[in-house]
Amino acid sequence: MAKKQSTWKKGRGKLGPLAPLIGSWEAKADSPMGKLTCTRVFEPVLGGNYIQLSASWDFGKQAYKETALFGIRDGALSFWSFTSDGKHSQGTLSDGSDVHPEAICFEAQMPAGIARMVYWPNEAGGFNWAVESKNKKGWNRFTQHHYRKK
């Protein structure tokens, strides 16, 4: 049986790893706050020098928004994120191969310690996204969604 070819095609240049994420995506999931729909839109901005993420977490009666920019800082692919609750974070590309060989992973130093977000292809189409915190035993996953083209 032939190995299934990945549709996870990275592009050229330092922003190339983000190429599989460009577009509009949607996930439906359960959360401690109830059912949610999360939309993520990735698009090149500012002459293609950055990728902007616009994310919206809709919980029905309330929503949580995020705007992030991905770009190059000191030669490394990095992100800067700002959220509707007034928080912000920044981090850099890191190794997520423990999750999936083609994972796109970013780590950030947060007030509570090191956290990472990981994107990787889903065999059913689209991609998975997870957020994890680092502890003494490794990574603790506390959120995971499966995004499909919107």
Does the domain at 16-149 match CATH 2.40.128.20? Answer given as: yes
Q: What is the pLDDT of residue 5?
A: 52
Q: Are 117 and 130 within 8 A, CB to CB?
A: yes
Q: Domain segments of the chain: what residues? A: 16-149
* Length of the chain (residues): 150
The encoded tokens of residue 18 equal 């983000």
Higher pLDDT: 11 or 25? It is 25
Give the separation between CA 25 and CA 56, rounded to whole angstroms.
11
In angstroms, what CA-CA distances link 103 with 27, 48, 83, 90, 97?
A: 18, 22, 24, 19, 6
Please state, for a pLDDT cut of 70, what percent of the chain lies above it: 95
Report phi then psi at 100, rounded to 5: -165, 145
Q: What is the pLDDT of residues 46-83, one digit of tens each?
A: 999 999 999 999 988 889 999 999 999 999 999 999 99
Q: What is the pLDDT of residue 6?
A: 60
Task: Read off the pLDDT of each residue in 9-26 and give the average, rounded to a whole number.
Answer: 94
Q: What is the pLDDT of residues 23-43, one digit of tens each?
A: 999 999 888 777 899 999 999
